[in-house]
Structures are given as structure tokens and as C-alpha cells.
Structure 1
Amino acid sequence: MNPLVPPGVYAPQEDTELLAGALSDEPLPQGAEVLDVGTGTGALALEAARRGLRVTAVDVSRRAVWAARLNAVRAGLPVRIRHGNLFDPVRGESFDLILANPPYVPAPDGSGRPPHGAARAWDAGDDGRLVVDRICREAPDLLRPGGVLLLVQSALSGPDLTVRCLRSSGLKAAVTRRRRIPFGPVLRGRERWLRERGLLPAAEDKEELVVVRAELPV
């Protein structure tokens, strides 16, 4: 069943599919606790719930929260869905797995203000790390021993830096999946700016997506 995608809610795309593949590789027992941050339509949360996992989903967009709740009802799957900014609604809780498909596209807005509307799903500051860095800082405190963070991002926003940041927090981290895809409408619209910034080589005509896997040692 395809999820309903209201206007202004991020539709599942190649990054969602890549992260879903990484989720399928994780040998989690039934009843394991999973957190899906930036859930959007709830597509990844529902994938986890189908495996018998106990899933909490969070999104800063009220429209996305509404969509995720509706999609969970349509699928007949129990998912706890909360409105809030990243980890704020789950402070004090811990999880066996955290899924994160955050905004990660560099954005040519020098105002320093957070993006608004639908752009919150992809715009992430001039280096694409506005939310990724916060996840790197805060996710380790929400993982149980042996717990895993799976994060998808673009190669344009520094996956090597993500790996280093997570390792500095004591996690074992590495890029475990890669996929090259044609530019979508957002990247096509700012291709010239990305090349001028040196974030996109002159001959590059595709975007690389990666999944970073980080595990808290037991």
C-alpha cells in the first residue's frame, strides 16, 4: 500500500528506499524499540512496524504527523507518532534503533534562519549539515548498548564528517550503503550555486546518497 502524501509532506524517494534497505539488514528481535525521526509520511516507521518492532515516529511538521497517523491507520499498524523538533518529544527514552532521513541539501540562504514550509524536508544550511550535526550530537544519548543509528544523507553534505563526529562520541561508524541518482528538481535548481561553492565537481551529473551506520558498543 502506497502512503498518502499530502501537499507539503516529503514523498518517499530514493533516500527512503536506501534507508529501508539498510533497515532490512538489521537483525532486530520482535519488540525492539525503534525511533524514526523526520518520519514524513511514516513510510520507514511502517516498514519497521511490519517486522513486529515497537515504533515511535517524530516530525516537526504537523501536516507530516497527520499524514503518518493516517497512513498507520490505513496499514493497520501500531505506531506511536509525536509532533516535535527531532528528539525533543522522546527525551529520557532509549532505543535499539534510530532511523534518520534528515534534511541534507546545502541551501544558498545566507540569512541563517531555519527553512519553512516544505523546504524543511530538504534545506539544511549552507553546508547541508544543519540537522545532521544535531543528530550526531544527540542521537548517541538515546541509544541503548548495542543500539544502532542509520542515517541517510547526500555526499554533498560530508558523510566523512558524519562518521568522524559519531566516532568521537564513542560509536562504531561507517558508510555502509551508497547509491548514485540523477539530480532531482531541488539540486537542478541550485546546480550552478553548488558548483560555484565547490560542493559539486564540474563534470558531476549525479548525486550520491549514502547510509551511515553507527553502533553504540555494548
Structure 2
Amino acid sequence: MNALVLPGVYAPQDDTALLAEALRAEPMPPGARVLDVGTGSGALALEAARLGAEVTAVDLSWRAVWTARLNAWLNRLPVRIRRGNLFGPVRGRAYDVIVANPPYVPAPDAGPEPRGRSRAWDAGHDGRLVLDRLCRDAPGLLRPGGVLLLVHSALSGPDRTLELLRAAGLKAAAVNRRWIRFGPVLRSRAGWLRERGLLAPAEESEELVVIRAERPC
């Protein structure tokens, strides 16, 4: 999954690739409306556009917005890219598929909102600063039969994600999992995660989980 990445923008990694696999597995009739929330470099938005979807991408970071626009231009793919906080720029619209690879890493000494580059991965003390908002707001933007595809770490409570999405009336399940070695961020805070009981003493990898939630027709 090649994409140009400007400094300060989240580069596509294992979580992006895992979510792209789930996206490719979804039936995607031409003209299906797809929303990529927190698009970063635009990699998932471009993947959806290649599948024939009508794609909108949103990110809070201006650097990410310009990176995604540049990648769409370089790949000659039509993607609408908007700057805004989660669903703010698309209120009142409905989608066949929503994809999200949000910040999900638990962070020590977390303030009310992460700042700078860490905004791409830090997500509060429990890793759910953005996840809970996605679970609350995404169901209202799905068309009947629409699907939310969401990836995050098992450290951030996938059972809680499933619980919230089911409570919102969606049919939700974990559809893909993959273990990966710690990257620099998790290596730097492994001691803190072990103190909290989220990691075993010798554990040096995390499990990524893709959750699929469908709005009944």
C-alpha cells in the first residue's frame, strides 16, 4: 500500500493493511458511498476509490488533508477530502461503508486532548478517547445495510467496542485479528502498560482487531 507521507502524518502500517483487507472483502457496487474517518495519508480512501466507490475522507490535521489530496491527485482517483473533527464535515449524510483507523494507544499522563504528532496514536488513559465517539456517532451515518469497519488494538477493549455498537442496534463482530511486534510507541510505554496489567511481563507484541458492524435493513 504505497502512499506519499508528509512529515507529521501517520504512515500506513499493519493496522491500515488489515483494515484494507476487510474493505476489499466488502461487496462494493459502483457508486457505493464510503467515508474514511481520520484518513491520514488517504491510503484507505484511495483503496475504496479503486473499488469503484464514491469516497469522502476526513481528517483534523491540515497536513493529513494535503497529503491525502496529493495522493489522490498522484493516483488520479476522485476522493473528496475535508478537514474536520470526525463526522463534523459530513453531518446529515449517509454512507454504505464507513472505515476508521483511529488513535487507540493508551497513554500515560494523558491530557484532555493529545497534541502534535502524538494525536495520530494517543487516545487517553484507556485508549478509547476517539473509539467511544466513533461507536456513538457512526451508526447514525450508516444507510440501512451499511457497514462500519473499525480497527484497533486489543489493548483498547474490543469487547467494549462490540458492546457499544450492539447497543446502538448494529450487528457487530470481530472479523479479523493479527499479532504484530511492538513499534516505537508501544516499546516506549511497555513498562507502564505492564504496571496496569495490560501486558504480560515478557509480551512484546500486540493484537490488532478489525470489527465489522452492520446496520440492519
Partner of 1:153: 152
Partner of 1:187: 186
Output the TM-score relative to the length of structure 2: 0.98
Partner of 1:196: 195
Please say if 1:92 is aligned against 2:95.
Answer: no
User: How far has the Cα of 1:113 moved from its partner?
Assistant: 2.0
User: How far has the Cα of 1:2 moved from its partner?
Assistant: 2.2
Q: How much is the aligned-residue C-alpha RMSD, in angstroms?
A: 0.8
Mapped to 2, the partners of 1:149 and 1:200 lie a distance apart of 28
What letter matches 2:84 in structure 1?
G
What letter matches 2:116 in structure 1?
G
Mapped to 2, the partners of 1:2 and 1:205 lie a distance apart of 27
Which blocks of at least 5 consecutive residues in structure 2 are unaligned? none
Mapped to 1, the partners of 2:16 and 2:63 lie a distance apart of 19
Deviations 1:115-170 (A, max 9, x none): 01111110000000000000000000000000000000000000011001000000
Partner of 1:208: 207
Partner of 2:129: 130
Secondary structure of 2:202's counterpart equals coil
Which blocks of at least 5 consecutive residues in structure 1 are unaligned? none
Partner of 1:60: 60
Secondary structure of 1:93's counterpart equals coil
Partner of 1:168: 167
**Contact (CA 8 Å) 2:181, 2:205: kept in 1 or not?**
yes
Output the TM-score relative to the length of structure 1: 0.98
Deviations 1:30-52 (A, max 9, x none): 10000000000000000000111
What letter matches 1:18 in structure 2?
L
What letter matches 1:94 in structure 2?
A
Paired residue total? 217
Moved over 3 A (4+): none
What letter matches 1:95 in structure 2?
Y
